[in-house]
Amino acid sequence: MELTGRQVYTLAHRLVGDRHEAEDVAQEAYLRVYRSLRSFRGDSRFETWLHRVVANVAINHMRTRARFGELMDEPETVVRIPEAPSTDDVAEREEMAGVLAQLPAAQRVAVVLKDVYGFSVSEIAERLDTTEGAVKLRLHRGRRNLKDLIHGVRESEHAEMADRIPEYAEGTGA
Amino acid sequence: MPETEDLEVHLATCLDCAGELARYRGLLHTMGSLRYHLEETPPGFTAGVLALVAAAEQGWGERIVRVANDPKIHVAAASFGGLVLGAAAIGLIWWRTARRREPFAA
């Protein structure tokens, strides 16, 4: 329980972006895992199944806590970029986790599930009850905001090309 | 991939955009590694979960859910259902045969 507890809590915290709410979500998710453990048939890895359960509980939690609008919202840019450009050490993991929490809920959920936990776009769309196109848009905006928060805003002379880079970077791997 | 060919040509000649690509790749790499960087649970988390599970164990709803999720119960229910259906089919056949034998009994 030590390891799975940390896994459950970490994902819950990254999705809801608040420690206290994450604790509630993690406990509820654990209860759900306990209840449906018998129905786990081993079709997928236990960890994957665990992540799905936590994602469902976190999304439901955000919906019921009057944050449904926030979750379904697709703001163009609501992230306040710091005036001083960030330095390289901001890209450290812990700081990245802090920066993720600053994203709007709709973008954060898409980015965390896709880029951190490897959910497919269709799986995220199904959980959020939206279209794959909407998820891709949130991912695009979320990644761009994240990059701006970490590296600072850079005006590219080739805006059209620069706009295609996030998807290209994902497709070609690191 | 032909749809990215123009972008690849551009990236090969534009330092600015190549740098942007490198930054994105770094970003994706760091995000991917977050998965294995686990946070500590808050104090009392495990005790809280265990208390929740214990409380749920005692509830009738939880007992029903546990029984409903038990594979042995599924097999028993399926067997019982099959038995009932079989008995009903035999009964129906018997009843129809009996009716055919005595068409003018009344």
pTM of the prediction? 0.69
CB pairs under 8 A between A and B: 130
Provide the pLDDT confidence category of residue B20 given band limits of 50, 70 and 90: confident
Assigned domain for B104 exists: no
Q: What pLDDT score was predicted for residue B30?
A: 85
What letter represents residue B106's amino acid?
A
A116 at B interface, C-beta within 8 A: yes
Q: What pLDDT score was predicted for residue B7?
A: 85
This complex has an ipTM of 0.71
> Thinking of the domain A79-174, which architecture would CATH place it in?
Orthogonal Bundle (1.10)
Assigned domain for B101 exists: no
Assigned domain for B56 exists: no
B26/A91 CB distance under 8 A: yes
Each residue of A68-120: pLDDT tens digit? 555 665 555 544 544 444 444 445 677 788 888 888 888 999 999 999 999 99
Phi-psi region of B38 (alpha: psi -120 to 50; beta: other; left: phi over 0): beta
Total domains, chain B: 1
CATH number 1.10.2020.10 given to A1-72? no
Provide the pLDDT confidence category of residue A122 given band limits of 50, 70 and 90: very high
Contacts of residue B17 in chain A, CB cutoff 8 Å?
Answer: 156, 158, 161-162, 165
Assigned domain for B68 exists: no
- Return the residue matching tokens 């896994």: A7
Cα–Cα distance measured from residue A155 to residue A71, given in angstroms and rounded to the nearest whole number: 29
Smallest CA–CA separation between A93 and chain B, in Å?
6
Cα–Cα distance measured from residue A152 to residue A159, given in angstroms and rounded to the nearest whole number: 16
Assigned domain for B63 exists: no
Assigned domain for B105 exists: no
Assigned domain for B13 exists: yes
Domain that holds residue B31: 1-38
Smallest CA–CA separation between B82 and chain A, in Å?
23
Above 80 in pLDDT, residue A4? yes
Contacts of residue A118 in chain B, CB cutoff 8 Å?
Answer: 35
B32/A116 CB distance under 8 A: yes
Q: What pLDDT score was predicted for residue A72?
A: 60
Cα–Cα distance measured from residue A139 to residue A86, given in angstroms and rounded to the nearest whole number: 22
